[in-house]
Amino acid sequence: MAAPNSAERKACWDTRDLLWKCLDDNEDQVSSCQKFQSEFEAKCPAQWVKYFTKRRDFLKYKDKMQNESFVPAEGPREPS
């Protein structure tokens, strides 16, 4: 498979951004954003779809950890 050219990359990123905005606006209800999901999958290589989906999940998790009272577990104590 050939790498996407700049116009194809831009089309992919634009559909990704529209999908993510729809998901944010609809509290991650995928059924409400099916049109955007279909366009995203049609305009982006399958590997990119997989990567961007994982990336969004990671960014949402990271944001949740930073904005909610996350307290890391205590590790082993230093010897006195």
- Residue 33 contacts residue 19 (beta carbons within 8 Å): yes
**Position with higher pLDDT, 68 vs 56:** 56
pTM of the model: 0.77
Q: Does 3 fall in a domain?
A: no
Q: Is pLDDT of 3 > 90?
A: no
Note down the domain range covering 51: 9-61
**Closest listed residue to residue 44, CA positions, set 73, 78, 5, 13:** 13
What DSSP assignment string belongs to the chain?
-PPP-HHHHHHHHHHHHHHHHHHHHTTT-GGGGHHHHHHHHHHS-HHHHHHHHHHHHHHHHHHHHHHTT--PPP-PPPP-
Give the chain's mean pLDDT: 88
Q: What is the structure's pLDDT at 21? A: 95
pLDDT in tens, 8-40: 999 999 999 999 999 999 987 888 899 999 999
**Residue 68 within any structural domain of the chain:** no
